[in-house]
Chains A and B, each alone.
Chain A
Amino acid sequence: MSQTLSTRSLRWCLAGLALAAPWFSAPTLAQEPIKIGSFLSVTGPASFLGDPELKTLEMYIERVNAAGGVLGRKLQLVSYDDAGDAEKARTFATRLIEQDKVDVIVGGSTTGSTMAAVPLAEKAAIPFISLAGAVVIIEPVKKWVFKTPHTDRMACEKVFVDLQARKLSKLGLISGSGGFDKSMRAECLKVAPKYQIDIVADETYGAGDTDMSAQLTKIKNTAGVQAVLNPGFGQGPAIVTKNFKQLGITVPLYQSHGVASKEFIKLAGDAAEGVRLPASALLVAEALPESDAQKKVLVSYKQSYEGKFKSDVSTFGGHAYDGLMLAVEAMKKAGSTDKAKVRDALEATKGYMGTAGVVNMSANDHMGLDLTAFRMLEVKGGNWVLVK
């Protein structure tokens, strides 16, 4: 009988929860908080993006509130975990807009989840600052959609410029099969001719692959390869870097901004030595010259994050910081949380100094970063250093 009792009570609990859900909305207060809505890939394959992003949002919303909030009101974070699933992202975006009635959305860890939510933000006329990389998010320009990270096309261009400087032109590509990897690979293939770069090898590896030496052997034996670029994130690039060293390949190896964290060096170990990648200056914050206008913001964010979470800062958390701060600045400038005014203020952002670089938005640029925002970094002595 105890079995039936427990199952019965379980069933009642579920039914009760299902019925109670619609009435979960918060009671109305005299001074209502400003609601920042967010959907992030906190679990699943893109959790290395969503996890630092959520931590950053939580930490800085607390800070802004401790400093008196915005427009005399407190900020309140409403966040959901889409687990990297675009359909979940769409449902959660609907929930943020319709149910939670948030004032602005800062979120969307991956391009897929962002793109699934874009039509909703456009239809509901709500400012949406995405934290995902691909160009499609802001090209063509969408009225209500902005983004903080550099695009993958810029990462390709930065690498190509560096290749030109080193007088190298024959590049081998090895990329993963995730959204980030595939999108960057496609962009690199697209812009390569502009920089007179020849893609002579184009290999891929699967999610969860444990060894990439077969693909790398193929690249190694391709005639004329002068450098290798690995668009990808997570486990893949660390394995590629190790296999690269193991196979004794001597041409320069470039990684993407997808592994822009000290974690990558820890994972790849000695093999990471000499690897270059394009990234924001966040990873080398302390080493920047005092004259660098970005230094203050970077050092402050880096130290706060590493101090609070005892883990290495990544540029992804920085994107969330930029997104939140851009929204806060825009609300201050607009003097209200009126969605249209905040949107206009966002579009008019000029000279905002973020972790990704200086942001100058305009009606036809909803990201506002240029190539100077990217720095070329290299691993030397187990640490990131600026090239030159």
Chain B
Amino acid sequence: MSHYRSSRHHGLIALAAIIALLPLVLSNKYFYDVAILIGFNAIVCIGLNLLIGYAGQISLGHAGFFGLGAYASAILTGNYGWPPVIAALAGMAGVGSLAFLAGRPILKLKGHYLAMATLGLGIIISLVIVNQDRLTGGPDGITVGPFSVLGFALENERAWYWFIGGLLLLTVWLSQNLIDSPMGRALRALHSSEVGAQAAGINAAAHKLQIFVLSATFAAGAGSLAAHYSGFITPAKAGFIHSVELVTMVVLGGMASIYGAVVGAAVLTLLPQILTVLKDYEMVVLGAVMMATMIFLPRGLVPSLAALCERWRDLLPPSLVLRLEALIGRGRKP
């Protein structure tokens, strides 16, 4: 873990550089669109990874929170004429409160039982959205107006790209600070040994609840923005399959790794776009990739890659390593 912390600024700078340089290869709106979707997914996944990777709590119902945020924006701006920013904040506050109320009994459960409870919660949310069709438009979905901040409307892909890029950096930065805060240390302690952490005076239940509420709020916020960006939202975005997609992104990228969440989101958003060439075999390959990564890289892409680099590093002569590290400006703490 230590090298993540030591390199946190490098990571942030690298991510900022990627976001800044990516438009050079994004030759049309379609590539922007995919990049923006990656951004949305990455923001949700970072929040979810705080919960799964750092607090060690599974949620198979996060799409429910995403969907509630999205529908809150759609309904409050569309039916009641609220300004988009206020609607999004209201959605986040609402989802946060729901997560707070539901989280108390849910987080008392562990492991599989927690997975089941969050799965149930997510499915109930999506069923309510499907059945309240007067308000939500039912399974066919509902149109959402454009997003605007302080009178400045985000109309084209380019504007959205920079907006989401900035938001992603902010999310990464906030999450890193959280992880390095006393709360983050408490969470990590919880993850490694709950009993030990409690013996050391850490209030397990309170910390887990806070992180659950925080990650649900992240999901709701991303949901609100995604709804405005798409201009259209259907209950599928609140459904079980979307929840599974989100968890898969986190685990595939690497649990307890912020950049893992970003990489996972990028890979799993790109994969279906690349797999379209396979036509009928698309699902088979997607399923196989999911299984294979989990079997062979159970820790996820980023941590496994990091471990691989360490191993290569040990094979190289020490003098070369020192020179290389000087080159990339990264020292390794003993």
Contacts and interface: CB of A to CB of B under 8 A. Distances in A.
B236 A84 contact: yes
Contacts of A6: 296
Contacts of A136: 140
B30 A99 contact: yes
B144 to A, nearest CB: 10
A73 interface: no
Nearest to B283: A43
A178 B138 CA distance: 8
Interface string B102-137: 000000000000000000000000000011010000
A91 B236 contact: no
A384 to B, nearest CB: 28
Contact of B232 (A10, A116, A182): A116
A7 B296 contact: yes
A254 to B, nearest CB: 21
Contacts of B143: 115
Chain B interface residue number, banded: 35 or more
A19 B230 CA distance: 25
Contacts of A116: 141, 230-232, 234
B222 interface: no
Contacts of B232: 86-87, 90, 112, 115-116, 119
A246 B161 CA distance: 58
B3 to A, nearest CB: 20
Contacts of B25: 22
A8 interface: yes
Interface string B31-72: 101100100000000000000000000000000000000000
A86 B33 contact: no
B237 interface: yes
Given A91-B34, A94-B30, A183-B140, A81 B276 contact: yes
Interface residues of A, number: 42
Interface in A136-178: 136, 177-178
A95 interface: yes
A80 B141 contact: no
Interface stretch (B8-16, B163-171, B266-274, B318-326): B266-274
A186 B272 contact: no
Most chain-A CB neighbours within 10 Å: which of B131, B139, B231, B273?
B139
B196 to A, nearest CB: 33
A121 to B, nearest CB: 12
A221 interface: no
Contacts of A22: 25, 27, 31
A98 interface: yes
Nearest to A87: B230
A14 interface: yes
Contact of A177 (B31, B139, B231, B304): B139
30 contacts: A7-B297, A10-B296, A14-B267, A17-B274, A18-B267, A21-B273, A81-B279, A84-B236, A86-B236, A87-B37, A91-B37, A91-B273, A94-B30, A98-B29, A98-B30, A98-B33, A99-B28, A111-B140, A112-B139, A112-B140, A112-B141, A112-B232, A115-B141, A115-B143, A115-B232, A119-B232, A136-B140, A179-B140, A179-B141, A186-B133
Given A22-B31, A98-B31, A98-B33, 8 more contacts: A7-B296, A22-B27, A80-B276, A84-B236, A87-B234, A112-B234, A115-B141, A182-B133
